[in-house]
Structure 1
Amino acid sequence: MIEATDFRNAMSLLTTAVNVITTKGETGMHGFTASAVCSVTDTPPTLLVCMNQSSRSYTHFMENEILSVNVLGAQHEHISNAFASSKFNSEQRFKLGSWAKLETGAPILKDALVSFDCQIEKIQEVGTHSIFMCRVVAIQHSQQDESLVYFNRAYHSVGQVEIA
């Protein structure tokens, strides 16, 4: 049997994009930092988002049935840290960026590399997490060209840097 720590150590070597997942409803705006996001299909456009069921914002995502996936740029490390930390409440987290909305009303980070506005269509529980199958209803791109990624328990940036 594979131990949880061995699995986490191995997964730390899988480079992943850093995302802030957000929602908005009657109880306000909520969000968390996630690396477990991926494309499922382009017809219809669908993303998979994994969320820990013990997260303090979990019930808000379940109730709202909407979310946005904000793919962070290299300059967003502080936003990633705030949305991952229990030291910040929702109001404090959302003060760190400039936010807007698209179709669903879920907050999108205006200068995210790209934001996917989604309707949660299906939810599958697996162990400690829920897998949200999310139909993409709108997309917004920015002019950013460097992505924030997480590898070996540290942030890195990847992308094109223009030399003047």
Structure 2
Amino acid sequence: MLDPKAYRDAMSEIASPVHIIATDGPAGLAGMTVTALASVTDQPATLLVCVNRQSPSAPRFLKNKAFSVNSLGAADQKLADIFAGRTDEHFAEKFTHGLWRKGATGAPLLEGALANFDCRLIEAKDVGTHHILIGEVVAVARRDEGAGLLYHRRAYRRSDDEL
């Protein structure tokens, strides 16, 4: 069996865009920083995101059946840290940072994000330690300017920096 640390070390060599996923609904408000995200198809527009099952926020994403993906700009490192759990703020407290509005699904959308994807959860699959959340995108918004925030070799970088 492959050593999990060796796998994580190898994955750290892949520069990944940084996103905040967020949800709100009957189970309550929650959000977290993620890098494990991929487009599935554009007809219908669908994406997937991976969430650790041990996260206290994970059940809220499943029960609310809606989530947003908010792609962060280079200036959003502080927000990325807050939603990654590197502060003592939890659940709704995290949303006192940044400007948020409700999307069509009820999921919070970050004003000023490089891109917003408002998603309806259509499937969740457990693989290993994570839930794979598959969302049908019901609305998008994007900004035409600004560098993106990347995570590479366990550090934040700007998308316009040399890696």
Q: What is the RMSD computed on CA atoms of the aligned residues?
A: 1.4
The answer to whether the Cα contact below 8 Å between 1:24 and 1:107 also exists between their aligned partners in 2 is yes
The whole-number CA distance in structure 2 between the counterparts of 1:30 and 1:84 is 12
Q: Identity, % of aligned pairs?
A: 39
Matched residues in 1 for 2:82 and 2:113: separation?
15
Residue type of the alignment partner of 1:74: A
Give TM-score scaled by structure 1 length.
0.93
Unaligned runs of 5+ in 2: none
Residue 23 of structure 2 is matched in structure 1 by: 23
Name stretches of at least 5 consecutive residues in structure 1 with no aligned partner: none
Q: Structure 2 matches for 1:41-120, cutoff 5 A? A: 41-85=41-85, 87-120=88-121
Aligned length: 160
Letter of the 1:140 counterpart: A
CA contact (8 A) 1:21 1:34 kept: yes
The C-alpha deviation readout for 1:122-151, integer Å capped at 9, x for no partner, is: 111101101011100000113442100000
The structure with the greater share of residues assigned to strand is: 1
What amino acid sits opposite 2:110 in the alignment? Answer: L
Query: What is the DSSP-based 3-state SS (H/G/I as helix, E as strand, rest coil) of the residue aligned with 1:105?
Result: coil
C-alpha distance in structure 1 between counterparts of 2:40 and 2:4, whole Å: 26
Give the CA deviation at 1:158: 1.3
Q: TM-score, normalized by length of structure 2?
A: 0.94
**d(CA) in 2 for partners of 1:94, 1:28:** 12
* Residue equivalent to 2:158: 157
- For 1:112 and 1:71, locate their aligned partners in 2 and report how far apart those are by CA, in whole Å: 6
